[in-house]
A = this chain, B = another copy of it.
Amino acid sequence: MSDIDLIEQRLALRGHRLTGSRRRVLEAIAGQPAHFTVDEVVHSSAGVGRATVFRTIRLLLDLNVVCRVLLDDGTLHYRVSVHGHHHHLVCRGCGRVEDFTTCDVKQLIGQLSSATDYQIEGHWLELYGRCSECASGAPLVPSDG
């Protein structure tokens, strides 16, 4: 099942209508790279109003099928992601994003919780770096240009 099918299912489950505009937004989102801005979606879903794109993306956030990605420069992008709580590792070179859930944030939270006497309930973590391709001196652009 594709992400779009899953999303449509979740919409239906929650009693939301599957309208033409929503379908166009979903298709536009599916055609985006790792992460995207609302504006990019507006431009690639012709005929759909800006407000509707925002509304749809907000709805998808609520349904946990889209998540926010905080980029290095402080701008907020979006990303299709049907898993639950997770974090991002964003490549500064090509923009590729890895989702990860496995890593040991809990350990860190345990440490801090006992050190500060806080009851820790939530967290936000983004990591930035270079994927192996970008780190190894951009083998994608060998010698021309």
Contact = CB atoms under 8 A, between A and B. Distances in A.
Contact of A119 (B102, B107, B121, B130): B130
Interface residues of A, number: 39
Copies per complex of this chain:
2
A103 B98 contact: no
Interface string A121-145: 1111111111110010000000000
20 contacts: A72-B122, A89-B118, A100-B116, A103-B108, A104-B111, A117-B131, A118-B127, A118-B129, A118-B130, A118-B131, A118-B135, A120-B129, A121-B130, A122-B128, A122-B129, A123-B125, A123-B126, A123-B127, A124-B124, A125-B125
